Amino acid sequence: MTDVHDLTRALQRDNGSKIVLAVADGLGGLPQQPGGKTELETANTPNLDELARRSSLGASIPVLPGITPGSGPGHLGLFGYDPLKYQIGRGVLEALGIDFELGPDDVAIRGNYCTIDGDGLITDRRAGRIGSDIGTALCEKLDKIEIPGVEVFVRPVKEYRLVIVFRGPGLGGHINDTDPQKTGVAPLKPVGRDDASQKTAEICEEFLRQAAEVLKDDAPANLLTMRGIAKKPDIPTFQEVYGVRAAAIAVYPMYRGLARLVSMDVLDAGTTLDEQMDRLESAWNDYDFFFVHYKYTDSTGEDGDFEAKVARTEDFDAAIPRMTALNPDVLIVTGDHSTPSKMRAHSWHPVPTLLAAENCRFDRSESFGEEECARGGLGQFEAKHLMLLALAHAGRLEKFGA
């Protein structure tokens, strides 16, 4: 099948228009009881509702019906990259999220400090959730490990989490996790699925052997496990496939990393939505496309806190006027997946989506919510097609064919 990016490469045109993609992470929800309202429908969202009345609404399917995405595939879909084609390992995401510049020869690994007993069995998979200060100090020690043939980088992420990167020629990225996902057993041995990956697996083993020695007196963090061992996929840049200068305004490392993966400029976004809006305003003249990421609709859903998700949705709504005041040619509000507080987890349910633009086809929606979106003018659509709609409504796509 024709790749959508072959189309956008051929049809893109720069008319100076501006697009804002505002992603409320985990936006979609469920009612607590049959017949009830979802979090978004419960929230008092006058700004989103006003916007809905001059938008096309729709329901975005992140990957395929029934498939619950992680944050990686969820965002790649929104960025217009087929999440089944571009599969990204957790280690790569973690590395990107701490501003580590991954090269094509790098293998990235998410590490978790853990506690092992005298028999080498894991007693705590998160090393008592040590503080970031301790984790950082331990990473500095591990960063000194030397392995012939590769460069070794060890960087802290947060608390018990770290990133390990091996840089060297001929490494593969298909290795099992060493985290056994339970306590009372030893870490698993890393094994590569091909020759290049087996070479990496042996480097992992050597690293873990040295790490055990380095950390032996650092209980509860006296070892680490490895997860998501992977190389960066070969992924075309946002600028190349769409012809827009794109900026990411995201607070959390994961989402900054995802934006960096498609070569958006990752801007300093502060720590609050207000600071993100400050940045959006100050960068307005420098870019064509803005990815704004808001985390708390997801984290409250994962906490199973319906009321908190409602409240955080209302906070998000309050930021909308600062976006509309910039008069973007296209403003999209959506999520990367649903996170119903009833389920305390990501889910497969289609995500409420709103697209406001001069030439959108209005659908007489009265408010922004799951039910209105399910019946909206955009219908149900695959998330990977949202960028086509964004570019089209921005006047940034030429006619296809004569």
Q: Pick out residues in 341-360 that bind its own copies (CB under 8 A).
A: 342-343, 345-350, 359
Structure tokens at 257: 């990393």
Q: Pick out residues in 247-276 that bind its own copies (CB under 8 A).
A: none
Give the burial class of 188: count Cβ atoms within 10 A of its Cβ; 0-12 exposed, 13-18 middle, 19 or more buried.
Answer: middle
Among 39, 47, 72, 317, binds its own copies (CB under 8 A): 72
Q: Is 98 in the site for its own copies (CB under 8 A)?
A: no
Which stretch in 64-72, 98-106, 118-126, 199-207 sits in contact with its own copies by CB under 8 A? 64-72
Sequence-distant (6+) residues with CB within 8 A of 175 are: 190, 191, 192, 193, 197, 200, 201, 204, 229
Which stretch in 134-142, 166-174, 187-195, 386-394 sits in contact with its own copies by CB under 8 A? 386-394
287: left (phi over 0), alpha (psi -120 to 50) or beta: beta
Structure tokens at 312: 């955080």
89: left (phi over 0), alpha (psi -120 to 50) or beta: beta
Q: Is 371 in the site for its own copies (CB under 8 A)?
A: yes
Tell me the per-residue interface mask from 23 to 42 with its own copies, x by CB under 8 A, - otherwise.
-------xx--xx--x----
Smaller CB distance to its own copies: residue 45 or 353? 353
Residue with tokens 């992992």: 204
Smaller CB distance to its own copies: residue 31 or 236? 31
Nearest-5° Cα angle at 108, 105 to 110: 175
Smaller CB distance to its own copies: residue 70 or 168? 70
Q: Is 301 in the site for its own copies (CB under 8 A)?
A: no
For the beta carbon of residue 281, count every other beta carbon within 10 angstroms. 13
Kindly state the helix (H) or strand (E) to which residue 311 belongs, with its residue range.
Answer: helix 306-324
Q: Is 188 in the site for its own copies (CB under 8 A)?
A: no
Q: Is 390 in the site for its own copies (CB under 8 A)?
A: yes
Q: Is 4 in the site for its own copies (CB under 8 A)?
A: yes
Smaller CB distance to its own copies: residue 61 or 201? 61
Which stretch in 78-86, 145-153, 279-287, 306-314 sits in contact with its own copies by CB under 8 A? 78-86
CA separation for the pair 98, 118 (Å, rounded):
33
- Helix, strand or coil, per DSSP, at residue 265: strand
CA 342 to chain centre: 22
Q: Is 2 in the site for its own copies (CB under 8 A)?
A: yes
Q: Is 59 in the site for its own copies (CB under 8 A)?
A: yes
DSSP per residue over 92-118, as a string?
Answer: HHHHHHTT----TTEEEEEEEEEEE-T
Smaller CB distance to its own copies: residue 201 or 378? 378
Minimum distance, C-beta of residue 379 to its own copies, in the bound complex (Å): 4
